Amino acid sequence: MIKVLSAEQINKWDLFTIKNEPISSIDLMERASEAFVKLFLANTKGKPKVDIICGPGNNGGDGFAIARLLIENGLKVNCNLIDFGLKLSEDCRKSYRRFLDISQVNIVKQANGLILNGDIIIDAMFGSGLNRPATGLAREVIQLVNQSKSKTIAVDMPSGLFADKVNLSGKIIEADWTITFQAPKLSFLIPESGFYVGEWSAVDIGLHAGFLEEESANYFLFEKSDIDCSLFDRNKFDHKGKNGRVLIVAGSLGKMGAAYLSAKAALKSGAGLLTVHIPRVGYVPMQTSLPEAMVSLDPEHDFVSKIDKVDEFDVVGIGPGLGMNPKTGEVLKQLFTSFNRPLVIDADALNLIALDKELLNLIPRGSVLTPHVGEFNRLFGKCDDGLERIEKVKLIAVEKQLVIVLKGAHTVVATPDGEIHFNSTGNSGMATAGCGDVLTGIISAFIARGIDSSTSARVGVCIHGWAGDIAENTVGKTALMASDLLCALPQAFCNVKDSDFI
Ligand SMILES: NC(=O)C1=CN([C@@H]2O[C@H](COP(=O)(O)OP(=O)(O)OC[C@H]3O[C@@H](n4cnc5c(N)ncnc54)[C@H](O)[C@@H]3O)[C@@H](O)[C@H]2O)[C@@H](O)CC1
Ligand SMILES: Nc1ncnc2c1ncn2[C@@H]1O[C@H](COP(=O)(O)OP(=O)(O)O)[C@@H](O)[C@H]1O
Ligand SMILES: [K+]
pLDDT, tens digit, 9 for 90 and up, residues 57-75: 999 999 999 999 999 999 9
Which residue among 372, 377, 378 has the greatest number of ligand 2 atoms within 8 angstroms of its CB, and so is best to mutate? 372
Q: Whose CA is nearest to atom 18 of ligand 2?
A: 436
**Which pTM value belongs to this model?**
0.95
Which residue among 260, 407, 423 has the greatest number of ligand 2 atoms within 8 angstroms of its CB, and so is best to mutate? 407
- List, for residues 312-366, the tens digit of each pLDDT value: 999 999 999 999 999 999 999 999 999 999 999 999 999 999 999 999 999 999 9
pLDDT value for 81? 98
| Under 8 Å between Cβ of 179 and 36 | yes
Q: Which segments are annotated as binding site for (6S)-NADPHX?
A: 58-62, 127-133, 156, 258, 321, 372, 437
Q: What is the DSSP string of 204-221?
A: -----HHHHHH---SEEE
501 or 374, greater pLDDT:
374
Domains and CATH numbers, the chain: 13-217 (3.40.50.10260), 238-499 (3.40.1190.20)
Average pLDDT across the chain, whole number: 96
Q: Which atom of ligand 1 is nearest to the CA of 155?
A: 41
Identify the band that residue 501 occupies on the pLDDT scale cut at 50, 70 and 90: very low
pLDDT value for 309? 87
Half-sphere exposure of residue 485, counting CA atoms within 13 Å on the CB side? 33
Beta pairing, strands 343-345 & 368-369: parallel
The letter for the amino acid at 335 is L
- State the Cα–Cα distance between residues 414 and 404, nearest whole angstrom: 5
Strands (DSSP E) contained in 346-492 are 368-369, 403-406, 412-414, 420-423
If phi over 0 gives left and psi between -120 and 50 gives alpha, with beta otherwise, what is residue 13? alpha
Bridge partners, residue 199, by sequence? 177
- List, for residues 207-229, the tens digit of each pLDDT value: 999 999 999 999 999 999 999 99
Is there an atom of ligand 2 within 6 Å of 347 CB? yes
Cα–Cα distances in angstroms (integers) from residue 101 to residues 68, 74, 98, 358, in the given order: 9, 16, 5, 71
Is there an atom of ligand 1 within 6 Å of 441 CB? no
- List, for residues 176-192, the tens digit of each pLDDT value: 999 999 999 999 999 99
ipTM confidence score: 0.93
- List, for residues 11-45, the tens digit of each pLDDT value: 999 999 999 999 999 999 999 999 999 999 999 99
B/e letters for 213-231, b = 16+ CB within 10 Å, e = fewer, are: eeeebbbbbbebeebeeee
- State the Cα–Cα distance between residues 180 and 190, nearest whole angstrom: 16
Residue 123 main-chain phi, psi, to 5 deg: -100, 110
